[in-house]
Structure 1
Amino acid sequence: MKIGKEAVRRHHPMAAKALVSAMLLLTLVACGEKKSASSSQVVANVDGQEITIHQVNNELAKTGGSQVTKQLLEGLVARQLLVNAAKKDKLDTDPAVLADMERARNLVLAQSYVASKVKAPTRPLDQDVEDLYRKNPDWFAQRKQYEFAQLIIAGSNLTPELNRLMDQPGKRLEDIASWLDSHHIQYARQQVVKTSADLPPQMNASLKTMERGTLFVVIEGQTAILTSLQDVKSAPLSLAVATPQIQQYLVAQRQNQASEQLVERLRKDAKVEYSEQAKSFKDLSVVPAAATGTATTDKDGVKNDAISRGVAGFK
């Protein structure tokens, strides 16, 4: 079966997004706009570029440290050395770099606005934590750990013949590797370990009835990943162990909901127009007809098992 990654939506609930790279880029912008400070504020000078105590204190606040250290200052010196070298190579005029810097600036402005308008959510109630725990057994009480072995090939080498070979009963991944060797097809090996908390519901449902050694294909852009389910282990989390994770998730969920509500209010008061090209962009919130769980066959006779499309999420 061939699985298309584009049909998969983001699913993992514990994922947390960060703006570290964006903050670094914003710092690079700020470094290029510094004005001369008084000598009492300057703690270091790197080829004429001053580092002030205000920068040090801001860095301390951003990193969550408790006191200024030599290592903190040396980190700022190292960053300034890189900035100076980048400017010497005229990277500060490179269109791609400028676009990244503008993106970083906009991200920080947007995040700062949300932080100023959205109140921090209250601590989740114990009942809320218990409800989430009970309603998601695959994440917690019945969590499983899956081990996968994979052969990675170019998508262009995923022929109907290879797909038929993968679908033959009793075939092992080593049989597929031997076939690839005999056809002089290059591949790379890798092992992947994921839990049922990392995988989308469709994949968890499929894995529950999947036997060890079962073969399937994951499509990742221009790459095809020939995969075998190697082992399954029970890895449950008790309510006590899972509680901090659940609390963090519920807080993040409420923050996201408040942010979305803020954006909707702003959208109502704004005039947003889309070009004809923008109207043609794919809407990932629309579930394809094939995602209902029926199996289809493409023009090359390759079988597509829609219920297992979530497999693409484990990479």
Structure 2
Amino acid sequence: MVLANTRTALTGFMIGFALVLTACDSNEPKEKKTGQALVSVNGKEVTMLQLNEEIKRANIRPEQYEAASKQLLESLIVRQLILDEAVHNKLDRTPDVMQARDRANAQVIAQAYMQGIVSKIAKPTQAEIDEYFQKHPEFFSQRKQFDLITVRVATKDLSSELKKTIDAAKSVDQVVTWLDKNKVPYLRSLASRSSTDLPPQMAKMLQEKSKDTIFIVNEQENSLLISVNAIKDSPITLAAAAPQIERFLLNQKYKEATDAEVTRLRAAAKIEYLNAKAPESSAADKPVVPQAAPNADNATNNLNLTEPTSNGSIERGIMGLK
């Protein structure tokens, strides 16, 4: 059986291979790779160091190590075979590959630099965690759980007649009855979200409006009709929330540090826009910063307690609420 984590690593193999190809140069002298050699492929070694790096990137669990090691070693052999053939066909010298090599090289170096910046940042203190907990009762001690009824319809079916029905309806059931009568396809389901999951504006709106209110969230091709079925108290203690608060505060510190470093670098540099229009000051103040590479030992996850999570349809499109 192919292990899930290993399968994920192998799925990304061809993407990773493109970066490996950009790193090669057929005219440069070949250096002996470091680490114990495991396999020789056409005279080129696949080493234990390479295998350990693949295992690390695939997040292999200890009980999966033996089987995963064999699979990943075979993927390294296949990669070397393809790499040899690509170089033989001079693909490493094509403009696209050479440009990708330059970009990958710059990205890796920039990320390493930013990793050095954030690695010096101290973790939030217990006092900082306590302060955040006390300042945001809506996320913790006064957290609410919203039990929602959702009805998904195609946006093209959201006619003016349907909108009038929604405005006049006292419950989702009345809207569903209209959909059935007019043979409009829909998908009805239940969902639960806490005030921690939702944007503050949306959580406040759901709490203040009556149960009779039906919200419309536009999702481009589909639209979501939302009605609050129940609102329950769902408090969370400081002890339970502390790890999440710590990650959030640490991520905030990372962002502040990287933004400050980019501001410093821009101030010290001489930047001239030659064949490009200079951005507005607000755009220049919000650059895309190369992120430090996340790993299992740090908290660089993009966690934000005040913003919607990325995997929920209800959290998106708050501007489409009506």
TM-score (norm 1): 0.66
Q: CA deviation at 1:78?
A: 5.8
1:81-114 superposed Cα distances (whole Å, 9 cap, x missing partner): 88589989xxx99x99999998766554432120
Partner of 1:123: 123
Once the two structures are TM-superposed, the CA of residue 258 in structure 1 deviates from its matched residue by 0.2
**CA RMSD, Structure 1 to Structure 2 (Å):** 4.6
CA separation of 1:62 and 1:175: change in aligned 2, threshold 3 A: same
Aligned 8 A contact 1:217 1:227 in 2:
yes
Partner of 1:212, secondary structure, is: coil
Stretches of structure 1 lacking an aligned partner (at least 5 in a row): 1-19, 286-308
Q: Distance in 2 between matches of 1:103 and 1:143?
A: 45
Contact 2:117 2:257 survives alignment (8 Å): no
Q: Which residue of 2 aligns with 1:180?
A: 179
Q: Deviations over 1:216-260 (max 9, x none)?
A: 100112321111222222211111211122112111111111011
Q: Could you say which residue in structure 2 is the equivalent of 1:314?
A: 315
**Following superposition of structure 1 onto structure 2, how do residues 34-113 of structure 1 map, counting pairs within 5 Å?**
41-44=36-39, 51-62=46-57, 69-77=65-73, 79-80=75-76, 107-113=107-113
CA distance in 1, matches of 2:202, 2:126: 30
CA distance in 1, matches of 2:155, 2:43: 52
* Aligned sequence identity (%): 25
Partner of 1:11: none
**Deviation at residue 49 of structure 1 after TM alignment:** 7.9
The residue aligned with 2:140 is: 140
Residue 69 of structure 1 aligns to which amino acid in structure 2?
Y
Counterpart contact for 1:56–1:73, Cα < 8 Å: yes
SS in 1 for 2:198: coil
Provide, for residues 204-225 of structure 1, a one-character-per-residue CA deviation record: whole Å limited to 9, x for no partner: 2112223335311001123211
Q: Retained in 2: the 8 A contact 1:120–1:255?
A: no
Contact 2:215 2:225 (8 Å CA) reproduced: yes
**Which letter does structure 1 place at the counterpart of 2:166?**
M
Q: Retained in 2: the 8 A contact 1:217–1:225?
A: yes
* Cα gap change, 1:66 to 1:199, in 2 (>3 Å): closer
**What residue ranges of structure 2 are gaps of 5+ in the alignment?**
1-8, 25-29, 86-90, 287-307, 317-322
Letter in 2 for 1:138: E
1:13-32 equivalence runs, <5 A: 27-32=16-21
Residue 51 of structure 1 deviates from its aligned partner by 3.3
1:157 CA drift (Å): 1.9
Higher relative contact order, chain-length normalized (CA < 8 Å, sep 6+): 1
2:297 equivalent in structure 1 = none
For residue 271 of structure 1, what is the aligned residue in structure 2? 271
Normalised TM-score (structure 2):
0.65
- Conserved 8 A contact 1:150-1:189: yes
Partner of 2:303: none
Whole-Å separation in 2 of the counterparts to 1:245 and 1:115: 21
Question: Secondary structure in 2 aligned to 1:184?
Answer: coil
Equivalent residue pairs, number:
268
**Aligned counterparts of 1:25 and 1:100: Cα–Cα separation in 2:** 14
* 1:197 correspondence with 2:196: yes
Bigger drift between 205-214 and 123-132 goes to 205-214
Question: Does the 8 Å CA contact 2:19/2:101 hold for their aligned counterparts?
Answer: no
Partner of 1:236: 235
Task: Give the counterpart letter for 1:150 in structure 2.
Answer: T
The change in CA–CA distance for 1:131 and 1:217 in structure 2 (over 3 A counts) is: same
